[in-house]
């Protein structure tokens, strides 16, 4: 069975925890898009980890973990992440890197800084070089990681690409280092990564034909999708379920299960419209109690009430077969909980996201639900949740039209309630 796990909001929903939870039973986990700007926080019996590139199934030694063709990879950063895992006693022998995945090179990071500094209105990029790497990929200037095998040809391609980059953007020179510094960094990473680089397609075909459990793990969420998100405040790839088959190398007809991951409230990092954003004591309460700081950048996340139009929008685009509702415990202690049921613009109420220029002007329409005072961190059964907590879950489920199969009441893998 092929099972896609996708973000139902702006990213940072808790996909890493749920992939870690599902991976206990999985034979293969494939990261299908994005790069090191992902920040999947995992808490399990091994400790607490922030994974940026490595698939979240790495903690299960019998699970094959694939960095898929749709991912862009910064070699030195991947090596650092592997060493952090190895120092914690986690084997990384089960990691496979698709030879077709594209490289994030040092000059992509320099370009990212140059372009963001040049913008009058910031996009809020993480400055990880992800956007420029995807630009080169679609512009046919990119370099695939499998090309690192042939050193002579790789150096020739890299010299040409570096020179062309500086020629097209001479202003980038003030942000850049030398070619030889970049080459030395890549050569050090190459020695570590070469044993993991291979043609991943035969492995994936074999797993699917054998009807093994294959998990597809993405980065960010539907509202940061390049085509369907709040453009231009989006990522440079497609996190939605439709992109899983492209980035992983799987026919779309093979995908049987799609789990959408949503928090019990809404958060976002970066710029762009966020209708339910709370710049008040409630927003700070959610940020502090939910530890809402980016795993990659450390930036504080904007926090707000749950946005049902976004969830309904994602339900259509992704075809969720189920939802996982994360961080329900963060809402404990609030006397009332508000939920956005629509957006008001010029006297008309809309129940789905609009173009970004309109989203910057909408006013959220709220429904208020009673809160609960009890701590729920130690609750081990859904039926043992406070009545108002269950009512909140069931209200969301009914309004989105997708069953909520999992409810998370804490960061640990064990703090996951199955309905």
Tokens representing residue 145 in the block: 């990681």
Residue 40 bears catalytic tag: yes
With a CB cutoff of 8 Å and minimum separation 6, the contacts of 253 are: none
Pure H helices in 119-243: 130-138, 151-168, 179-193, 201-209
* Nearest-angstrom CA–CA distance, 237 and 34: 6
Nearest to 66 by CA among 75, 76, 57, 78: 57
- State the Cα–Cα distance between residues 125 and 304, nearest whole angstrom: 21
List phi, psi (to 5°) of 142: -75, 165
The Cα-based distances of 78 to 28, 188, 203, 401 in angstroms read 19, 12, 22, 39
Kindly write down the DSSP assignment for every residue of 186-210, as one continuous string.
HHHHHHHHGGGEE--HHHHHHHHHT
Residue from 281, 325, 235, 278 nearest 34 by CA: 235
**Residue carrying structure tokens 């139009």:** 309
Among residues 3, 12, 20, 307, the one annotated as catalytic is 12
Q: Is 386 exposed, middle or buried (0-12, 13-18, 19+ CB in 10 A)?
A: middle
Selecting among 3, 27, 40, 225, the annotated active-site residue is 40
Token look-up 């969720």 returns 320
Report phi then psi at 417, rounded to 5: -95, 130
Q: Name the residues annotated as catalytic.
A: 12, 40
């Amino acid at each position: 069975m092929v099972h896609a796990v996708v973000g139902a909001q702006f990213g940072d929903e808790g996909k890493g925890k749920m992939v870690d939870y599902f991976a206990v039973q999985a034979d293969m986990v494939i990261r299908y898009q994005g790069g090191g700007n992902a920040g999947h926080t995992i808490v399990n019996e091994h400790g607490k980890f922030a994974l940026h590139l490595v698939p979240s199934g790495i903690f299960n030694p019998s699970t094959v973990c694939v960095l898929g063709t749709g991912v862009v990879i910064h070699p030195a950063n991947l090596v650092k992440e592997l060493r952090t895992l190895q120092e914690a006693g986690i084997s990384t022998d089960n990691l496979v890197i698709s030879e077709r995945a594209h490289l994030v090179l040092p000059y992509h990071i320099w370009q990212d800084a140059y372009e963001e500094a040049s913008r009058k209105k910031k996009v809020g990029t993480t400055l990880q070089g992800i956007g420029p790497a995807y630009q080169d990929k679609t512009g046919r200037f990119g370099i695939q990681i499998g090309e690192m095998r042939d050193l002579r040809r790789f150096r020739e391609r890299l010299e040409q690409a570096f020179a062309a980059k500086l020629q097209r953007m001479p202003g980038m020179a003030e942000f850049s280092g030398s070619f030889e510094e970049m080459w030395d960094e890549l050569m050090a990473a190459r020695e570590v990564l070469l044993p993991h680089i291979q043609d991943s397609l035969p492995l994936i075909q074999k797993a699917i034909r054998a009807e093994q459990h294959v998990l597809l793990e993405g980065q960010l969420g539907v509202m940061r999708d390049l085509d369907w998100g709040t453009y231009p405040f989006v990522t440079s790839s497609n996190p939605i379920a439709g992109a899983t088959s492209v980035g992983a190398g799987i026919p779309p007809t093979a995908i049987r299960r799609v789990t959408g991951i949503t928090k019990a409230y809404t958060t976002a990092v970066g710029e762009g419209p966020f209708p339910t954003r709370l710049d008040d004591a409630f927003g700070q309460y959610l940020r502090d109690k939910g530890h809402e700081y980016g795993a990659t950048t450390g930036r504080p996340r904007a926090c707000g009430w749950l946005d049902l139009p976004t969830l309904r929008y994602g339900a259509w685009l992704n075809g969720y077969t189920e939802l996982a509702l994360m961080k329900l415990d963060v809402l404990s202690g609030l006397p009332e909980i508000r939920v956005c049921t629509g957006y008001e613009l010029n006297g008309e109420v809309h129940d789905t996201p609009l173009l970004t220029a309109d989203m910057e002007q909408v006013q959220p329409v709220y429904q208020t639900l009673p809160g609960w005072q009890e701590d729920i961190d130690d609750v081990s059964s859904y039926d043992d949740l406070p009545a108002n907590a269950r009512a909140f879950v069931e209200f969301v489920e009914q309004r989105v039209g997708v069953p909520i199969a999992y409810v998370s009441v804490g960061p640990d893998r064990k703090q996951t309630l199955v309905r």
